[in-house]
């Protein structure tokens, strides 16, 4: 073995094992944000991916119902909690029409979606194809639903804005 190979190998092997691991630096944590991890961990990459989530059972059901939001701009969350716009839809035709109509605006906002109601996996995959390139995740928690209901909003499809408000009519939003 030549010393060109041996010297770097000896140097590398003599380093402590912890020095080889990257150290993460936390830049900021206000302590007042809602973690997106429960939703992002289950993010489904695309409509070309086999299945949805291992262990996910259909139908996805919700206490929310399809309908018209009586008042746009209803405050649902503390504005500091939201880090990204999130839209909630079902796989029903009304939700898919809303998605088609608002898709360009949702893309501009950088929103991602949560499917709160779906009969089965094929229906979810249809919604996912309609939403592309927007990401969709199945609702795996009742937390968003509970927050909407507490605020007096019991319908979908809707958009939860970063300012903590809920909107259904997106035309003209900043």
| pLDDT tens digits for range 130-144 | 999 999 999 988 998
- Summarised one tens digit per residue, pLDDT across range 68-109 is 999 899 999 887 878 899 999 999 999 999 999 999 999 999
Q: How many Å from the N-terminal Cα to the C-terminal Cα in the chain?
A: 65
Q: Please indicate, yes or no, whether the overall pTM of this predicted structure exceeds 0.85.
A: no
Q: Using CA atoms, how far apart are residues 159 and 29, in angstroms rounded to an integer?
A: 25
Q: Report, as an integer, the average pLDDT of 49-68.
A: 82
Alpha helices of 29-75 — where are they, by DSSP H? 37-40
Of the candidates 164, 162, 144, which has an alpha carbon nearest to the alpha carbon of residue 154?
Answer: 144
Domain extent listing, the chain: 32-167
Indicate the burial class of 17 (C-beta count within 10 angstroms; 0-12, 13-18, 19 or more): exposed
């Amino acid at each position: 073995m030549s010393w060109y190979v041996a010297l770097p190998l000896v140097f590398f092997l003599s380093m402590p094992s912890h020095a080889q691991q990257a150290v993460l630096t936390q830049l900021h944590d206000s302590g007042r944000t809602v973690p997106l991890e429960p939703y992002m961990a289950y993010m489904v990459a695309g409509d070309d991916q086999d299945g949805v989530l291992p262990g996910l059972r259909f139908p996805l059901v919700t206490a929310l119902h399809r309908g018209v939001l009586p008042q746009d701009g209803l405050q649902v969350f503390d504005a500091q909690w939201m880090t990204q716009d999130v839209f909630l839809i079902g796989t029903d035709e009304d939700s898919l029409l809303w998605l088609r109509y608002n898709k360009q605006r949702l893309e501009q906002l950088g929103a991602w979606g949560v499917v709160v109601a779906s009969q089965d996996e094929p229906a979810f995959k249809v919604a996912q194809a309609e939403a592309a390139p927007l990401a969709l995740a199945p609702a795996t928690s009742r937390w968003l639903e509970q927050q909407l209901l507490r605020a007096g909003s019991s319908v979908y499809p809707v958009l939860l804005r970063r300012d903590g408000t809920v909107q259904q009519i997106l035309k003209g939003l900043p």
